Amino acid sequence: MNFTPHDYQDYAIRYIEKHPVAAVLLDMGLGKTVISLTAVYDLLFDSFEVRRVLVVAPLRVARDTWPSEIQKWSHLAGLTFSVAVGTAKERKAALMQQADITIINRENLQWLIDESGFPFDYDMVIIDELSSFKNHKSKRFKSLMKVRPRLHRIIGLTGTPSSNGLMDLWAEFKVLDMGERLGRFITQYRTNYFMPDKRNGEIIYSYKPLLYAEDAIYRKISDITISMKSTDHLKMPELVSTAYEVQLSESERDRYEDLKQEFILQLPDGEVTAANAASLTGKLSQLANGAIYADTGEIIEFHDRKLDALEDIIEAANEKPLLVAYWFRHDLSRIKNRFNVREIKTSRDIADWNAGKIPVAVIHPASAGHGLNLQAGGSTLVWFGLTWSLELYQQTNARLWRQGQESHTVVIQHIITKGTIDERIMRALTKKELTQSALIDAVKAEVV
């Protein structure tokens, strides 16, 4: 297939070629993979500024998206690539190919650098989903920082650089510029741009940005950063977001309230922390969805309200394909017990969905989050169970609401159990609140 870049794509390609260090914040659906590959091709074979390239991506994106994009476009025909995923033997075989581009999943980056036995001889790295390097304590971050001084070029790609707040940006840009813009140390960054927020005595649980922080941080990184929104450059399909509300019976409602109070009583004295807030809201979310795990791991059924709603939605779809997002494992098992569904897990699943062979597919947001192109298979996404993660929520929606969607309208339907934590999660997502602060505020509201 011939590639005729849009003006914004051509601009992004030239930007990458001119900036050895770059953060390319491209919204979902803008074609960041083909943009990056086109720039790589030019750097490899036109200007000869690059010799070998390493792409670090989420597993499914590394395995499926990057190889298919290289094979899809005729102008990339000269590129050789290898995919270093799977077993250690398979990964080593891929590394031995000495291809122009080596593609590896982010979970194996530390293995590549510290354990594989192969020399790290790449002079350019592309990080697909820069947000996966927001934790400066992670193994992948520490390993990449070891070899960062050897790299002549590094590109960070993402559509969601700071879904959990400005604090994420420090590690992401430290990987790119080794601390030149936001400081070499996280403590320095916190001191310059943040003040303590949630705390218990000397223990600080969270920070909030100072009034000037956002503008100051963006100014600091502006010389190596471009940002583009899909709605500015693409004719996107209409996005319709709806709520399908289900109502608990009086006895179910009483039981929900009793269990909620039971969980609240288990909270330690003092400040509500992110850890215990996540635990409490997780249990309440399970109840809202209709089941909960006992201490033994056994699934205790609570109600079938959401399953009934999903049945209504499937029937109303009249064989139109539906993609269903679930959150808890018992959500999946209960959906499977009731309906004929297929999980989207493998390359074959993705191909069959896009070919219209799967009437009802189920997917977990953590698996669907980045890079999967599912827009050819359907235009309706049903959220059976909600997530607090704004990043996972937006990225999962973008599997259908993106360029290439043939339907003029994409419907995102949320099954909400009235009078439960579902309503608070939905409000937080609608307002694009930060995950941790929304969690803690929700728990405080429940405790009152």
**What does pLDDT average to in each consecutive run of 10 residues of the chain (448 residues)?**
87 94 81 93 94 92 87 91 95 95 96 94 94 92 96 90 78 95 93 83 79 88 82 71 87 84 59 58 89 81 91 82 93 95 90 91 81 79 90 86 76 92 88 54 48
Beta bridge partners of 227: 25
Q: Rg for the chain (alpha carbons), in Å?
A: 23
Same domain, 218 and 141: yes
**Phi-psi bin for 183: left (phi > 0), alpha (psi -120 to 50), beta?**
left
Same domain, 284 and 350: yes
C-beta of residue 375 within 8 angstroms of C-beta of residue 402? yes
Same domain, 93 and 109: yes
Same domain, 219 and 259: no
Can you tell me the distance from the alpha carbon of 326 to that of 319, in angstroms, rounded to the nearest whole number? 20
The three-state (H, E, C) secondary structure of 46-95, written as one string:
CCCCCCCEEEEECHHHHHHHHHHHHHHCHHHCCCCEEEECCCHHHHHHHH
Rounded (5°) CA angle 294-297-301: 50
Q: Return the structure tokens found at 184.
A: 């070499």
| Torsion sign across C-alpha atoms 156, 161, 166, 171 | negative
Distances (CA, A) of 285 to 23, 223, 302, 418, 423: 36, 43, 12, 12, 10
The H or E element containing residue 336 is helix 329-338
Same domain, 194 and 270: no
Residue with tokens 């790449």: 122
Residue 2 covered by a domain: no
Nearest to 57 by CA among 103, 93, 100, 15: 103
Q: Of 232, 248, 268, at which residue does a domain stop?
A: 232
Same domain, 366 and 393: yes
Residue 198 covered by a domain: yes
Same domain, 253 and 398: yes
Query: What angle separates helix 169-177 from helix 213-221, to the nearest 10 degrees?
Result: 20
Residue 428 covered by a domain: yes
Same domain, 282 and 180: no
Beta bridge partners of 10: none
C-beta of residue 410 within 8 angstroms of C-beta of residue 237? yes
Beta bridge partners of 83: 103
Same domain, 88 and 139: yes
pLDDT of residue 270: 46
- The secondary structure of residue 61, as a DSSP letter, is I
- Burial bucket for residue 357 (CB in 10 Å: 0-12, 13-18, 19+): middle
Can you tell me the distance from the alpha carbon of 307 to that of 302, in angstroms, rounded to the nearest whole number? 12
Which CATH number does the domain housing residue 412 bear?
A: 3.40.50.300
Same domain, 437 and 346: yes
Residue 142 covered by a domain: yes
Residue 16 covered by a domain: yes
What is the per-residue DSSP string for 403-416?
TT--SSEEEEEEEE
The range of the structural domain enclosing residue 307 comes to 238-447
Residue with tokens 């996280």: 186
The count of other CB atoms within 10 Å of the CB of residue 150 is 11
The count of other CB atoms within 10 Å of the CB of residue 190 is 16
Beta bridge partners of 322: 360
Q: Coil, helix or strand for 62?
A: helix
Residue 1 covered by a domain: no
Q: Coil, helix or strand for 393?
A: helix
Q: Coil, helix or strand for 221?
A: helix
pTM above 0.85, yes or no: no
Give the N- to C-terminal CA distance of the chain in Å, as an integer: 60
Can you tell me the distance from the alpha carbon of 387 to that of 389, in angstroms, rounded to the nearest whole number? 5
Residue 54 covered by a domain: yes
Domain count, the chain: 2
Residue 162 covered by a domain: yes
Q: Of 232, 257, 276, at which residue does a domain stop?
A: 232
Same domain, 215 and 332: no
pLDDT of residue 13: 95
Q: Of 232, 247, 272, at which residue does a domain stop?
A: 232
What is the bridge-based pairing of β-strands 238-246 and 409-417?
Answer: parallel
Same domain, 300 and 205: no
Which CATH number does the domain housing residue 14 bear?
A: 3.40.50.10810
